[in-house]
């Protein structure tokens, strides 16, 4: 199915959602009217009963209708909320298919890593980034894993397992809808940091005997009080029996007051975040998966009964939240329910806390794969890359930039390997040199994440990516742009010594004079090639194009420039063989208005 067909399908789903939302809204209005009508009838019957016009028990008659109407109203309201969220899900998907997504999604800035070797250069995170385009994961845990897929290298075996999982998930559009609708409200979250902070504090469970004593005493005290109100037992007897029990409970609460305060503060945040993850794990457990990675993630959660155990934690933390409400506060204090719930929460943490990280990691990976499968579904013309054996291979036909609209994306063929280890790309400003470098790097990142790439065919070996395309100075660190670039080149060389590298450099060592730049650049390229790296560098300095001709380095010169027969600024963004011979100084001066055009 083409992108156009998928857009038409999404637009039809939006129209269907609109129709269903209208029906749900009408049913919601009717059910509310029935509920209000039942309440009015009940009130009138009560009034009439006082006037002896009807039997006193008659006000009970509308109660079943009121209960039924209330439940109907609740179901209609929940259905309306769910359909509204579903419509927004389809609208966001439509915006991505129509290339209207820039700046409206999640930037992923919270996942930025200082001095990362390609994140800023390839626009992995930030507004309008690769992450924003792909970040459809429901929870912060899933988005964290998606960022890790885009930022961290993986073995070839792991990448191929991701590919298999994404391929299996691509046609499962209904599953992606259900994932997006997890939780009653869209603002409900599950953030990794909340769980990490909670787990970082070592559990200190109380002895089982104390927990049992506190529970038994609470039950006895509640029973005595209830018996006192519902029977004719002497008040003195009730007081003599209740006061010692109450004293025991208050002593337990007083001794553990600080312990309870700390535990309950952290547990309240976990209780809010655990619901969406628990629902997601329940949904995941109902699926049938064929590929190894998905089956393994599902098995890990199912074998541990993760969803059931998280539900238990959720119930306890929800009870804790109910104790904070004014109507339950006195009752909760008298029976030290908060203290007993804190005992239960800490015991849960002691029993299952060590497993929780593994459960959340499995869920996060599943969400990341779901997000990538959604990206793959929205880009049906992209292809899954083929990984090959050996070191240093990158071969792409029709390679394009994944963040550009498909309708305007200009594609190029790129081949890097033993016979051609690097390109020196010359050309004017705005000719497309940097875009070509980012096309190479971004597609390599997508390949490593297990995602399809913007190309008609793509073969590569497993490569670590290092880039120097968007280096800036830092006043706070006292580091100039030139020094920052030197540090990045040093990092490139260190990576190259550890394994196969794909390097991408825009205007290498631009902060020095042409003669020194030529000498230093050759030294850098020699060191990279010596360690079997492959890559490309762009330059305006034609002296650097001589490096590609040096025997033994196996480089080649290519250039970007104007279209055949066009003007000096009429760029076609096609990669052409050889060194550029074009000049556009006069055209640039005319653009600035310093000379007549």
pLDDT band at 144 (very low <50, low <70, confident <90, very high): very high
pLDDT at 355: 94
Mean of pLDDT values over 85-96 = 86
Q: What is the pLDDT of residues 558-588, one digit of tens each?
A: 998 877 766 656 788 899 999 987 666 545 5
The Cα–Cα gap between 453 and 432 comes to 19
Helix/strand/coil percent split, the chain, to 5: 60, 10, 30
pLDDT at 72: 67
End-to-end CA distance of the chain: 48
Mean of pLDDT values over 13-21 = 71
- Name 114's Cβ contacts closer than 8 Å, sequence gap at least 6: none
pLDDT band at 285 (very low <50, low <70, confident <90, very high): very high
The Cα–Cα gap between 288 and 321 comes to 36
Percentage of the chain exceeding pLDDT 70: 77
The Cα–Cα gap between 68 and 50 comes to 26
Q: What is the pLDDT of residues 430-472, one digit of tens each?
A: 888 999 999 999 999 999 999 999 999 999 999 999 998 876 6
Q: State the average pLDDT for the chain.
A: 83
Strand order in the sheet with 555-562: 464-468, 501-506, 534-539, 422-427, 555-562, 571-577
- Name 585's Cβ contacts closer than 8 Å, sequence gap at least 6: none
Q: Which has more confidence, 13 or 385?
A: 385
DSSP characters for 224-289? HHHHHHHS---HHHHHHHHHHHHHHHHHHHHHTHHHHHHHHHHHHHHHHHHHHHHHHHHHHHT---
pLDDT at 330: 61
* Rounded (5°) CA angle 137-141-146: 55
The whole-model pTM stands at: 0.85
Mean of pLDDT values over 145-149 = 97
pLDDT band at 476 (very low <50, low <70, confident <90, very high): very low
pLDDT at 101: 92
Least Cα distance to 432 among 406, 401, 396, 457 occurs for 401
pLDDT(129) > 90: yes
pLDDT(151) > 90: yes
- The answer to whether 392 and 417 have CB atoms below 8 angstroms apart is yes
Q: What is the pLDDT of residues 357-371, one digit of tens each?
A: 999 999 999 999 999
| Residue 84: burial class (beta carbons within 10 Å; 0-12, 13-18, 19+) | middle
Mean of pLDDT values over 258-264 = 66
Q: Which has more confidence, 471 or 520?
A: 520
pLDDT(505) > 70: yes
Q: Which has more confidence, 28 or 528?
A: 528
Q: 3-state SS string over 443-466?
A: HHHHHHHCCCECCCEEEECCCEEE
| Ramachandran assignment for 553, one of left (phi > 0), alpha (psi -120 to 50 degrees), beta (any other) | alpha
The Cα–Cα gap between 466 and 402 comes to 18
pLDDT band at 475 (very low <50, low <70, confident <90, very high): very low
Mean of pLDDT values over 164-192 = 91
pLDDT band at 86 (very low <50, low <70, confident <90, very high): confident
Mean of pLDDT values over 547-567 = 84
DSSP annotation of 383: B
Give the chain's radius of gyration (CA, Å).
33
- Residue 481 tokens read as 């742009």
The Cα–Cα gap between 158 and 577 comes to 36
pLDDT at 12: 78
Task: Give the distance from CA 151 to its chain's centroid.
Answer: 13
Q: Which has more confidence, 307 or 64?
A: 307
- Name 272's Cβ contacts closer than 8 Å, sequence gap at least 6: 188, 189, 194, 317
pLDDT at 53: 72
The Cα–Cα gap between 586 and 24 comes to 65
pLDDT band at 415 (very low <50, low <70, confident <90, very high): very high
Count CA within 13 A, CB hemisphere, residue 457.
5
DSSP characters for 310-367? HHHHHHHHHHHHHHTSHHHHHHHHHTTHHHHHHHHHHHHHHHHHHHHHHHHHHHHHHH
Mean of pLDDT values over 207-231 = 69
pLDDT at 343: 80
pLDDT at 56: 59
Q: Could you tell me which residues are beta bridge partners of residue 387?
A: 460
Of 1-5, 76-80, 304-308, 541-545, where does mean pLDDT reach its minimum? 1-5
- Name 555's Cβ contacts closer than 8 Å, sequence gap at least 6: 420, 421, 422, 423, 424, 525, 547, 548, 549
Task: Give the distance from CA 488 to its chain's centroid.
Answer: 28
Percentage of the chain exceeding pLDDT 90: 41
> How far apart, in Å, are the Cα atoms of 182 and each of 43, 71, 285, 510?
39, 21, 14, 51
Q: Could you tell me which residues are beta bridge partners of residue 559?
A: 426, 576
Most confident of 47-61, 91-105, 432-446: 432-446
Mean of pLDDT values over 524-529 = 92
Q: Which position has the token pair 């259900």? A: 178
């Amino acid at each position: 199915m083409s992108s156009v067909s998928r857009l038409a399908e999404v637009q039809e789903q939006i129209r269907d959602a609109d129709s269903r939302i209208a029906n749900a809204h009408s049913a919601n209005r009717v059910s509310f009217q029935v509920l209000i009508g039942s309440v009015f009838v009940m009130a009138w019957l009560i009034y009439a009963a006082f006037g002896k016009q009807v039997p006193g028990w008659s006000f009970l008659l509308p109660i079943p209708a009121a209960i039924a109407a209330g439940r109907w109203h609740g179901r209609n309201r929940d259905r309306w909320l769910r359909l509204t969220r579903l419509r927004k899900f389809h609208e966001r998907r439509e915006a991505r298919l129509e290339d209207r997504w820039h700046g409206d999604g999640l930037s992923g800035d919270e996942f930025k890593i200082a001095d990362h070797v390609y994140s800023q250069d390839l626009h992995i995170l930030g507004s309008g980034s690769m992450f924003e385009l792909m970040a459809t994961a429901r929870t912060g845990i899933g988005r964290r894993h998606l960022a890790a897929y885009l930022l961290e290298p993986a073995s070839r075996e792991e990448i191929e397992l991701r590919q298999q999982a994404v391929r299996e998930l691509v046609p499962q559009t209904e599953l992606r809808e259900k994932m997006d609708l997890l939780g009653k409200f869209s603002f409900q979250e599950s953030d990794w940091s909340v769980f990490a902070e909670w787990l970082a504090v070592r559990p200190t469970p109380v002895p089982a005997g104390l927990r049992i004593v506190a529970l038994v005493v609470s039950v006895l005290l509640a029973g005595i009080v209830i018996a006192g109100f519902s029977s004719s037992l002497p008040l003195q007897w009730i007081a003599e029996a209740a006061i010692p029990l109450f004293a025991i409970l208050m002593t337990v609460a007083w001794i553990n007051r600080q312990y309870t305060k700390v535990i309950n503060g952290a547990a309240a945040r976990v209780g809010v975040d655990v619901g969406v993850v628990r629902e997601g794990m329940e949904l995941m457990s109902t699926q049938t998966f064929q590929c190894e990675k998905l089956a393994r993630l599902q098995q890990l959660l199912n074998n541990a009964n993760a969803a059931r155990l998280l539900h238990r934690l959720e119930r306890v933390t929800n009870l804790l939240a109910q104790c904070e409400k004014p109507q339950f506060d006195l009752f909760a204090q008298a029976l030290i329910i908060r203290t007993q719930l804190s005992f239960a929460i800490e015991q849960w943490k002691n029993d299952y806390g060590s497993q929780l990280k593994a459960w959340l990691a499995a869920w996060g990976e599943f969400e990341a794969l779901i997000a990538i499968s959604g990206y793959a579904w929205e880009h049906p013309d992209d292809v899954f890359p083929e990984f090959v054996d050996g070191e240093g291979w990158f071969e792409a036909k029709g390679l394009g930039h994944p963040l550009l609209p498909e309708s305007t994306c200009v594609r190029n063929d790129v081949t890097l390997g033993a016979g051609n280890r690097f390109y020196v790309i010359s050309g004017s400003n705005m000719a497309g040199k940097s875009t070509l470098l980012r096309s190479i790097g971004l597609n390599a990142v997508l390949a490593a994440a297990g995602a399809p790439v913007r190309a008609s065919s793509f073969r590569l070996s497993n490569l670590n990516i290092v880039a120097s395309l968007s280096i800036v100075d830092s006043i706070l660190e006292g580091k100039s742009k030139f020094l920052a670039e030197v540090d990045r080149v040093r990092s490139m060389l260190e990576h190259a010594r550890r394994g196969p590298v794909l390097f991408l450099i825009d205007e290498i060592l631009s902060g020095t004079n042409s003669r020194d730049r030529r000498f230093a650049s050759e030294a850098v390229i020699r060191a990279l090639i010596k360690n079997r790296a492959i890559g490309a560098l762009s330059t305006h300095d034609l002296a650097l194009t001589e490096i590609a001709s040096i025997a033994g380095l196996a480089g080649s010169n290519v250039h970007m420039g104007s279209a055949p027969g066009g003007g000096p600024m009429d760029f076609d963004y096609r990669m052409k063989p050889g060194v550029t011979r074009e000049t556009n100084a006069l055209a640039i001066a005319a653009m600035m208005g310093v000379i007549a055009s």
